[in-house]
């Protein structure tokens, strides 16, 4: 009987990496979908829809070239000031370079952003910390440069 239990336990342990890998692939796909939704909203000039991918909290953290902005509303206000119209917003493109699970339900995503604009293109890199909140992935920290 012990021999059978040993093999059942061993078989269960052997499946853990596969389950973890599948879960991580599912998380990655959901985060990629979130980033696609963010791009589509930006490219329509819809900052409110763009901001739905962020954690709606005063604890949201955004770090940019002008320093730190705290909170969802503060981040929205910063975007509105920096990008007051569709010409300044341009067309956004992301290249997602790295997905790193930091803990259960927490990811670090590293990538490049590019704005194609008639007034001059902009580009840089970003690092995002995303957390699964109430079953949905949300950006809780954004460092873009």
25-144 has which fold? Nuclear Transport Factor 2; Chain: A, (3.10.450)
State the DSSP code for 54. Answer: B
Question: What is the pLDDT tens value at each position of the chain, 145 positions in all?
Answer: 544 544 444 455 455 454 444 556 789 999 999 999 999 999 999 999 999 999 999 999 999 998 999 999 999 999 999 999 999 999 999 999 999 999 999 999 999 999 999 999 999 999 999 999 999 999 999 999 9
Q: Is 70 in a helix, a strand, or coil?
A: strand
Q: What is the pLDDT of residue 25?
A: 77
Yes or no: say if 102 and 118 are a contact pair by the CB < 8 Å rule.
no
Q: Would you kindly state where each structural domain of the chain is located, as residue ranges?
A: 25-144
SS3 labels along 22-34: HHHHHHHHHHHHH
- What pTM, to 2 d.p., does this model score? 0.82
Q: CA-CA distance, 37 to 41, in Å (whole number)?
A: 6
């Amino acid at each position: 009987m012990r021999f059978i239990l040993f093999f059942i336990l061993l078989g269960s342990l052997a499946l853990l990496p596969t389950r973890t890998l599948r879960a991580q692939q599912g998380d990655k796909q959901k985060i990629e979908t979130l980033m696609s939704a963010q791009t589509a909203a930006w490219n329509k000039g819809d900052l409110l829809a763009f901001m739905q991918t962020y954690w709606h909290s005063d604890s949201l953290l955004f770090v940019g070239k002008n320093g730190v902005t705290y909170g969802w509303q503060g981040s929205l206000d910063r975007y509105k000031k920096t990008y007051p119209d569709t010409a300044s917003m341009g067309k956004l493109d992301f290249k997602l370079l790295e997905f790193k699970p930091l803990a259960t339900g927490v990811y670090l995503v590293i990538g490049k952003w590019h704005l194609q604009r008639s007034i001059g293109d902009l580009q840089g890199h970003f690092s995002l910390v995303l957390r699964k909140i109430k079953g949905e992935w949300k950006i809780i920290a954004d460092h873009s440069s």
